[in-house]
Structure 1
């Protein structure tokens, strides 16, 4: 029996295949068409007020699994009362959505900067606006979830907020670096959501619906970013290409940590001991492997586009995110 390829597989072209502008524009037109025929509305397509979708902080379906966060596998977490375990999990998911919507706020502003400099009739303008619209709906559904979860989660830190303006400007000044940032934020969370959907047999219906909507549309966004880089990186000057090769593991290491580790506010809120944090993250070889696995696709992209050199590979290794795949 044959299986229907996923959107990622269907739209995965090599740098040679996407090198010509015509081939790239054909792919962009296809992505834009998919945004018309398969998209979601944050409110029309989620039954927020259905009693089955209500959020109960004592619901055991909020408990963390190994796929969702290695904190859930620690003895400390497993020793907590059921209500505490479910609240930690709900806080973790609400925090991830708050960070996600703030990341997508930066992404939307950068996409508009990118589109601002495009010529008339450039099909990437239409695609960029489709993505902005879809990301706006993601932000709406993430914030609605946060509001209903009942935790006042803070989102990204002060440092990230200060850096956000510089990242937004990259959309026009250095779009290749901007789309690398996009992949750095989207790839790890996409990997986590796919793993959660694959491994968890029983998920809260609201949480599952949000993830499925997000994964479906992010496949298009990641496909565009990857193929834009496949087309553009070989055309960069040697200096810009070198800058990009060093920026890649630096950005990816920071973004993976932000997306794949419990935030400091959760650790403070629930009094997670420092030894447990080390057990779950910094001294956990399984977490290191999961992080490397989450970045497999972008490592492959960097290899394909010539962004791996002796210096950049050393940075990947220093960040703990290198793997020979």
Structure 2
């Protein structure tokens, strides 16, 4: 007689069961939000309205003196207004181009990752939703670049060269891939939120429209990466976790520099002194505070994943991105003291 009793499952500690259930619920919630609260850059941004028209010598392209790393520097502030505007337009167009290129890498990685998931895995639905949203972001960023009209390369040459290889990490070492995802998403998200929060920000409406849409959807993408790492890292072996604890700050700093620091074309185009570039990225006191603040959420995540230890703390310090962890995700820098 065949037994009808269900096969017993392996014992799991209550805390692990709770974490897995919570992660499953997060995936359901994020997928639902992607269906019911999504944006289309050609429906939700009035590109052809008079308010969003882009023309030369518009002072709204001057970089924010308090938020933008370049805009804060005395060298930039001492330039004639016309040159500040030209640099601002180039800078913002290049930031959008970098965003486009990063999203393209992410889309390819997400689709490879989703392709390896088994039937019924809830990550398949959410990562595909996210890839679709990132496709819309690439359209939005390219539209802005085209309308600004500046010839900008985006990422630095070496990163553009290896970009076809990076998506492979999503299936070879998914955890490192998601470290890279956060290393790209967190700095861009941090800078854009600072711009939107700044009471003295006088951005061009086209730029603010792009930022608002991007920040709204990026919150879901960053939430997924955080929850995914919190759910998957604690179950790894001790040596693996130690290796990840060391890799995490290294990946963060390398990709942050690659994404935030303008390519060499910027310095050549505007005759920026080398010492000024070094001061902006990241030798001045203000720039070091900014760099540390970018990764407050990631340091918090590292603690939550059990990746902060005496050795890894030294690596965070060596990478010059150590500091206090955020108390909650997206904690404004002016509250982090």
Same fold (TM over 0.5): yes
Provide the C-alpha distance between the structure 2 equivalents of 1:173 and 1:95, rounded to a whole number of angstroms.
Answer: 31
Aligned to 2:121: 122
Q: Is the 8 A contact 1:106 1:168 kept in 2?
A: yes
State which drifts further: 210-219 or 260-269. 260-269
Q: Specify which structure has the higher proportion of helix.
A: 1
Question: Does residue 156 of structure 2 align to residue 144 of structure 1?
Answer: no
Aligned to 2:27: 28
Aligned to 1:295: 295
Aligned to 2:311: 311
Aligned to 1:203: 203
Q: Is the 8 A contact 2:155 2:259 kept in 1?
A: no
Question: Does residue 188 of structure 2 align to residue 184 of structure 1?
Answer: no
How far did residue 57 of structure 1 move?
3.1
Aligned to 2:76: 77
Distance 1:19-1:180 versus aligned 2 partners, 3 A rule: farther
State which drifts further: 83-92 or 279-288. 279-288
How many pairs align?
310
Provide the C-alpha distance between the structure 2 equivalents of 1:238 and 1:293, rounded to a whole number of angstroms.
Answer: 29
How far did residue 84 of structure 1 move?
0.9
How far did residue 17 of structure 1 move?
8.3
Provide the secondary structure at the position in 1 that maps to 2:234.
helix
Query: Can you give the 5+ residue segments of structure 2 that lack an aligned partner in the other structure?
Result: 1-14, 326-337
Aligned to 2:329: none
Deviations 1:75-120 (A, max 9, x none): 3212222111011011111111111111111111110111011111
Provide the C-alpha distance between the structure 1 equivalents of 2:102 and 2:90, rounded to a whole number of angstroms.
Answer: 18
State which drifts further: 19-28 or 78-87. 19-28
Provide the secondary structure at the position in 1 that maps to 2:322.
coil
Q: Is the 8 A contact 2:62 2:88 kept in 1?
A: yes
Question: Does residue 54 of structure 2 align to residue 55 of structure 1?
Answer: yes
State which drifts further: 195-204 or 219-228. 195-204
Deviations 1:123-147 (A, max 9, x none): 1111011100100010001011111
How far did residue 70 of structure 1 move?
2.5
Distance 1:259-1:165 versus aligned 2 partners, 3 A rule: closer
Q: Is the 8 A contact 1:98 1:143 kept in 2?
A: yes
Provide the C-alpha distance between the structure 1 equivalents of 2:270 and 2:35, rounded to a whole number of angstroms.
Answer: 43
Provide the C-alpha distance between the structure 2 equivalents of 1:71 and 1:17, rounded to a whole number of angstroms.
Answer: 46
Question: Does residue 256 of structure 2 align to residue 256 of structure 1?
Answer: yes
Q: CA RMSD in A?
A: 1.7
Aligned to 1:171: 170
How far did residue 67 of structure 1 move?
4.1
Question: Does residue 157 of structure 2 align to residue 158 of structure 1?
Answer: yes
Provide the C-alpha distance between the structure 2 equivalents of 1:312 and 1:118, rounded to a whole number of angstroms.
Answer: 31
State which drifts further: 295-304 or 276-285. 276-285
Q: Is the 8 A contact 2:65 2:77 kept in 1?
A: no
Larger RCO (CA within 8 A; separation ≥ 6): 1
Provide the secondary structure at the position in 2 that maps to 1:302.
helix
Q: Is the 8 A contact 2:157 2:263 kept in 1?
A: no
State which drifts further: 49-58 or 102-111. 49-58
Provide the C-alpha distance between the structure 2 equivalents of 1:217 and 1:185, rounded to a whole number of angstroms.
Answer: 15
Provide the C-alpha distance between the structure 1 equivalents of 2:153 and 2:18, rounded to a whole number of angstroms.
Answer: 42
Larger radius of gyration: 2
Deviations 1:249-280 (A, max 9, x none): 11111122233333322111111112322332
Provide the C-alpha distance between the structure 2 equivalents of 1:67 and 1:236, rounded to a whole number of angstroms.
Answer: 42
Aligned to 1:282: 282
How far did residue 19 of structure 1 move?
5.4
Distance 1:136-1:18 versus aligned 2 partners, 3 A rule: farther
Which consecutive segments of 4 or more residues in structure 1 shift more than 6 A?
none
How far did residue 20 of structure 1 move?
3.1
Provide the C-alpha distance between the structure 2 equivalents of 1:19 and 1:161, rounded to a whole number of angstroms.
Answer: 41
Provide the C-alpha distance between the structure 2 equivalents of 1:17 and 1:285, rounded to a whole number of angstroms.
Answer: 43
How far did residue 72 of structure 1 move?
1.5
Per the normalisation by structure 1, the TM-score is 0.90
